[in-house]
Structure 1
Amino acid sequence: MKFKLFLFAAPALALYGGFFLLPAVQGLRYATTDWDGYSSTFDNVGPANLTEVVSDDDLFRNALTNNLKFLLVVVLGQTALALLLAVLLAVRTKGSQLLRGLFFLPTVLSSVSVAFIWKFVYDPNFGLINTVLDTVGLGSWKSAFLGNEGTAILWVAMAQIWFHAGQMMIIYIAGINQIPQELYEAATTDGAGRWQQFRHVTWPMVAPATTLVIAYTTLQSFKAFDLILGLAGNPPRSGLDVLATRIYTTFANSQLGYAAAESIVFMVAIALVTYLQNRAAKVAHG
């Protein structure tokens, strides 16, 4: 009987092993070599690639710094915006359902489409924002946006928030709709205002949704590859280079062994950040 049950899982396990476990093991093997990706021979270099990535690679360190900036802005901004929209639109009315659809709409677009939209918005010469600023007499506030090396990654983060906030809003709405109305009625009876109800009822009760939103947003932030290439070009400038684009550039330069080592550090970084975020979320929800 147990063997028959195993057969049901066999196709999924085969796919998981063939498309995840095997490539992961191969990646660990390649990370200890200097293979260029197409030669029939290569040398074993041991942990040298990993050591260089961690301690001596300024390009990788710059990409990691950019990625952490991007991650911080997106996680905080997207989570806060999604929760705000969910609280405002959790009531089931025709108007709220229409607004839910409008806010969710960007999520169904492709990353390339979103990149073209925001390239038009950010264009320093005829972009939407600078045109509006000129029209209302605030031309002195005009910006180069993606042309500013120090803040370019933050403007990309704004585009990412617009892209996926509606998707996270749906998760929060589902969480809010699961909260028993008796809790709000009891809070109202005790004289709690809307802020107190949110703080002591809504916020603690959406803890599972918040954990899911943060984890998913973190993965999105680390995988914002096509959006950044669409906005910044290939290869992206130093101020817009993140871990995914850095690894891609290394692969494109025929350094597969070194790129594999970067990928391992990349996975460790994702695991560490996700763990710390989950711990912080548990503390925040008390």
Structure 2
Amino acid sequence: MREIISVTTANDHQVDVCPGYPAYTPTPDKWIQAQEPSGSCAPALQPAVKAGTEIRSDWGSGVSNQEAIGPRAHPEGSPAASASSIRYLTGTASRTRPRLTTPVLRRVSPRQPLELRAITVNKKKIYPWYFVVAPLLLYVALFVLPSLIGVGYSFTDWSSYSDEISFVGWENFTEVFSPKRDYLDAILNTLWFTVVSTVIKTALALLFAVLLSKGVRALNLHRSILYLPAVLSVLIVGIVFTAILDPSNGLINEALRAVGLGGLAQRWLVDPSLAMWSVIAVDVWRGMGYIMTILLVGILSISPTYNEAAEIDGASTWQRFRHVTLPLLRPTLAVTIVLNVLYGLKVFDIVYVLTNGGPGHRTEVLYTAVFQEFSSGRYAVGTALSTVMLVIMLIVGVFMIRTLTRNEVQE
């Protein structure tokens, strides 16, 4: 039994073409009329398709060397204008490994032949291997080699106090994990910052992405306002919020005092119990819009037919979100969570600008500690700290990607 290749015109007219059978006959009024080929795949009478209309295949036909060539325009009723004037060169049709085809029907002039060609895109084409050589060399030179050299230096006594470099084994790592130093606190602060900021940013970004996906006036304006902080410089954000959160004459405390709530005024960046939360709040304000944009794109890419079908079945708004939108959004959520986690693990700029690790190392993160070590000339300890964070990032990144992409729902 032969397969039927179904094609759809630009105005949504559907035409079935049976490979191996003549399907079209040109007529003087520049229209192509589908015929009824005999055999097991004979379709019903199809609507007319105007010459010059671009048509596309609903699925790759898998027919090798597919090409249809029409005759020159002849008067109506002439033998040359019969259906047998168009031929198909077919091979074995298969749906398992389809090819992408874009048939285009055109007439160059009234006296030139009608022509229907199937442009086939070979998805299995292998590009030359040397295309990746230049990017790979740059990646190795600018990332792999410096990382390996840094790991090597972490096992030495490299510092600005001596011109000689000696191998000291695990001594630097022993110092990093020693309870007598503050490095463990910096690692724990980094992990705490990462977890809390990732959860809050993802939750708020998902909420705003759902709210701004449809049904809101001035939609693009609201999206732009929420995304705007992401394009601001971290230095500018830090300076502005340092002034806003100033305990003496900061905007927040002054506003609280003005409305009679002076008792709620706090030392936002000075109080050890509030400093880390203040830094996290500023980071969430700055980064939430970027995550929201990614999630918004993921939501808009979900076909509305799923929600429409669930609504017809009586599902509530929450049920549609939980059982339709959220499962289909899981791959996008995985990407945003991984981006948030990797950013949180290597955070430096916002902490350095707002508190510089203070007060009393309460907001010290790993890379502010690395900065302090390099500033004091203890290069080997700084590279040891960087090596520890590199290992943590690799482990967390691989684990999260495997966990979050497991059992993804495919549309």
TM-score surpassing 0.5?
A: yes
SS of 2:362's equivalent? helix
* Structure 1 residues 280 and 12: alpha-carbon distance in aligned structure 2, compared to 1, 3 A threshold: closer
Query: Would the aligned equivalents of 2:151 and 2:387 in 1 still touch at CA under 8 Å?
Result: yes
1:62 aligns with 2:191: no
Quick one: higher RCO (CA 8 Å, sep 6+), 1 or 2?
1
**Which residue of 1 is the match for residue 46 of structure 2?**
none
Structure 2: 5+ residue runs without aligned partners?
1-126
SS of 1:146's equivalent? coil
**Which residue of 2 is the match for residue 101 of structure 1?**
224
**Which residue of 2 is the match for residue 246 of structure 1?**
369
Identify the range of structure 1 (205-214 vs 128-137) with the bigger mean alpha-carbon deviation: 128-137
* Structure 1 residues 148 and 284: alpha-carbon distance in aligned structure 2, compared to 1, 3 A threshold: farther
Q: Measure how far apart 1:233 and its partner are.
A: 3.6
* Structure 1 residues 39 and 19: alpha-carbon distance in aligned structure 2, compared to 1, 3 A threshold: farther
**Which residue of 2 is the match for residue 187 of structure 1?**
310
CA–CA separation in structure 1 for the residues paired with 2:194 and 2:256: 28
Q: What amino acid sits opposite 1:186 in the alignment?
A: A
Residue-pair matches, total: 284
Q: Measure how far apart 1:222 and its partner are.
A: 2.2
1:86 aligns with 2:199: no
Which residue of 235, 238, 243 maps to 1:115?
238
Query: Would the aligned equivalents of 2:331 and 2:408 in 1 still touch at CA under 8 Å?
Result: no
SS of 1:196's equivalent? helix
**Which residue of 1 is the match for residue 18 of structure 2?**
none
Query: Would the aligned equivalents of 1:35 and 1:41 in 2 still touch at CA under 8 Å?
Result: yes
Structure 1: 5+ residue runs without aligned partners?
none
**Which residue of 1 is the match for residue 298 of structure 2?**
175
CA–CA separation in structure 2 for the residues paired with 1:86 and 1:225: 28
Q: Percentage identity across aligned positions?
A: 34
1:51 aligns with 2:139: no
Which string of whole-angstrom CA distances, capped at 9 and with x for unpartnered residues, describes residues 44-72 of structure 1? 10122123323446311111111122112
* Structure 1 residues 199 and 234: alpha-carbon distance in aligned structure 2, compared to 1, 3 A threshold: closer
Aligned-residue CA RMSD (Å): 2.3
1:258 aligns with 2:396: no
CA–CA separation in structure 1 for the residues paired with 2:145 and 2:399: 28
* Structure 1 residues 225 and 284: alpha-carbon distance in aligned structure 2, compared to 1, 3 A threshold: farther
1:42 aligns with 2:42: no
**Which residue of 2 is the match for residue 135 of structure 1?**
258
Instruction: Tell me which structure has the larger Cα radius of gyration.
Output: 2
CA–CA separation in structure 1 for the residues paired with 2:274 and 2:195: 14
Which string of whole-angstrom CA distances, capped at 9 and with x for unpartnered residues, describes residues 80-133 of structure 1? 011111001112866111111111101111110110121122111111211121
CA–CA separation in structure 1 for the residues paired with 2:134 and 2:358: 39
**Which residue of 1 is the match for residue 284 of structure 2?**
161
**Which residue of 1 is the match for residue 342 of structure 2?**
219
Q: What amino acid sits opposite 1:254 in the alignment?
A: G
Q: Which has the higher helix share?
A: 1
* Structure 1 residues 11 and 207: alpha-carbon distance in aligned structure 2, compared to 1, 3 A threshold: same
1:150 aligns with 2:276: no
**Which residue of 2 is the match for residue 18 of structure 1?**
141
Q: Measure how far apart 1:258 and its partner are.
A: 1.3
Q: Could you state the TM-score of these two structures normalised by the residue count of structure 2?
A: 0.65
* Structure 1 residues 5 and 237: alpha-carbon distance in aligned structure 2, compared to 1, 3 A threshold: farther
Identify the range of structure 1 (105-114 vs 274-283) with the bigger mean alpha-carbon deviation: 274-283
* Structure 1 residues 148 and 281: alpha-carbon distance in aligned structure 2, compared to 1, 3 A threshold: farther
Q: Measure how far apart 1:17 and its partner are.
A: 1.2
